[in-house]
Amino acid sequence: MMIENHLFEALFEMIPFGVYVVDIETYEMVFANRTYRETHGDWDNKACYEAIYKEDSPCYYCKIQQLIDEQGKPNNKTLIFERFNEYNERWYQHHEKTLCWPDGRVVKYTIEVDISASKVMQNQLAEAHALLALKNKELMEINRHDELTKVFNRSHLNHVLAEQIYNMERYQSLFSVVLLDIDDFKKINDTHGHLVGDTVLVEMTRLISSNIRQFDCFGRWGGEEFMIITPHVKSMDDTKFFVEKLCTIIANHDFATVGHCSCSLGVTHCTPNDTMISVVKNADDALYFAKAHGKNQVVVYDELAQK
């Protein structure tokens, strides 16, 4: 039996990783090779949980029961898992299996591979991916917002329009589109300068943003023209009431430097026959009519088309 023990021990000594052998009933360490001893130190007359992890009782994650059959004999399974040793603050990959030791005891042997360096690299890689994801999100936010006013830009408005057309076709989810243009904005720029004109644009977006629904989509369509996409509307009357109220709020607002200024608004209620092109054209036709017939008013395309 002594010769057989030496054969097992010589075999484990040849393995270039830490190896230790444990009695599955008592958790007593039966053997540990040189690499293990250099890493963990003394193991004589100690249980594995005491020698390796400095614990007072068996580890809660112990795999012994998964490596034996109902009679307590080796089941020929090999388990591979990773474990962080809090005592020496190292990561190990464990390869565990049971076998019959020369003295008749069933033992579990563990080959532990120090993977701390690769774990550091994995963590650094995960941090790099997280940083890239964050920067990509920031870039996406920048790319869909107008630089001056910080509301959505035309590109994003087109994206939302396409989504709404799809939802209307598939789910019969109706929506309205409002095109809004600041009246006599050129006069503001000519009288007060473009910097003041920019402040009016910013103040206008803040005023509109605070007077629309949270799920409405609002953005700068171009120049002094803005768009509001209002999903989940039951009828044109609901949209018209909201837009007329917004028109009044804008006209009554006292803007810094320029005082009062108004807006013209064109509104269209989308139907299942509409496309992105027809929706924008209808709202634009209504807006053009509003500006050509007195400004500071709301014109609904649906009503205009009936005349």
Quick check: 71 and 64 in contact, CB under 8 A?
A: no
pLDDT digits (tens, 9 = 90+) for 18-36: 999 999 999 999 898 999 8
Query: Among residues 28, 96, 112, 224, which one is catalytic?
Result: 224
CATH of the domain at 188: 3.30.70.270
Residue 201 lies in a domain: yes
Residue 131 lies in a domain: no
CA distance 31 to 109: 9
pLDDT on residue 305:
66
Whether residues 112 and 149 fall in one domain: no
Whether residues 11 and 71 fall in one domain: yes
| DSSP secondary structure string for all residues of the chain | -HHHHHHHHHHHHHSSSEEEEEETTT-BEEEE-HHHHHHH---TT-BHHHHHH--SS--TT--GGGGB-TTS-B----EEEEEEETTTTEEEEEEEEEEE-TTS-EEEEEEEEE-HHHHHHHHHHHHHHHHHHHHHHHHHHHHTB-TTT-SB-HHHHHHHHHHHHHHHHHH---EEEEEEEETTHHHHHHHH-HHHHHHHHHHHHHHHHTTS-TTSEEEEEETTEEEEEEES-S-HHHHHHHHHHHHHHHHH--BTTTB---EEEEEEE--TT--HHHHHHHHHHHHHHHHHTTSSSEEEHHHHHH-
pTM: 0.60
301 closest CA partner among 157, 245, 287:
287
Whether residues 269 and 163 fall in one domain: yes
Whether residues 112 and 161 fall in one domain: no
CATH of the domain at 21: 3.30.450.20
pLDDT on residue 279:
94
Q: How is residue 56 written in tokens?
A: 């007072």
Residue 108 lies in a domain: yes
Whether residues 166 and 296 fall in one domain: yes
- Split at pLDDT 50, 70, 90, the class of 162 is very high
Q: How much is the average pLDDT of 91-110?
A: 91
Clarify whether 224 is annotated catalytic.
yes
Whether residues 57 and 178 fall in one domain: no
State the CB neighbour count (10 A cutoff) for residue 110: 22
Residue 213 lies in a domain: yes
| Last residue within a domain, chosen from 65, 98, 117 | 117
Quick check: 156 and 144 in contact, CB under 8 A?
A: yes
Whether residues 201 and 287 fall in one domain: yes
CA distance 73 to 300: 84
Q: How much is the average pLDDT of 161-169?
A: 90
Whether residues 176 and 288 fall in one domain: yes
- Domain ranges, residue 43: 2-117
Residue 135 lies in a domain: no
Whether residues 62 and 187 fall in one domain: no
Residue 139 lies in a domain: no
Whether residues 42 and 100 fall in one domain: yes
CA distance 9 to 132: 49
Residue 138 lies in a domain: no
Whether residues 153 and 302 fall in one domain: yes
Look at 118-127, 138-147, 276-285 and tell me which has the smallest mean pLDDT: 138-147
Count: domains in the chain: 2
Whether residues 224 and 109 fall in one domain: no
Residue 122 lies in a domain: no
